[in-house]
Amino acid sequence: MRRGCSVAAPSSTFAAVLGLLGVTALVLFAAGHAVRRLEINYGAE
């Protein structure tokens, strides 16, 4: 009865792990960049 709705095939384990590692690296990079911007530099005063 449901026309045009197809279930996507599950991704391979390799692609899933690679995607998870990529997202984790991106989040860590963004967090590190944000922390570096918030760092207090006492030498500038």
User: What's the domain range around 18?
Assistant: 13-37
Domain-embedded: residue 3: no
Q: Is the dihedral of CA 11, 15, 21, 25 positive or negative?
A: negative
Domain-embedded: residue 17: yes
Q: Which residues contact 11 (CB under 8 A, 6 or more apart)?
A: 19
Confidence of residue 1 (pLDDT cuts 50, 70, 90): low
Q: Which long-range contacts (CB under 8 A, 24 or more apart) does 20-28 make?
A: none
Domain-embedded: residue 6: no
What percent of the chain stands above pLDDT 70?
A: 84
Q: Which two tokens stand for residue 25?
A: 């690296």
Report pTM: 0.61
Length of the chain: 45
Looking at residues 20-33, what average pLDDT do you find?
96
Domain-embedded: residue 26: yes
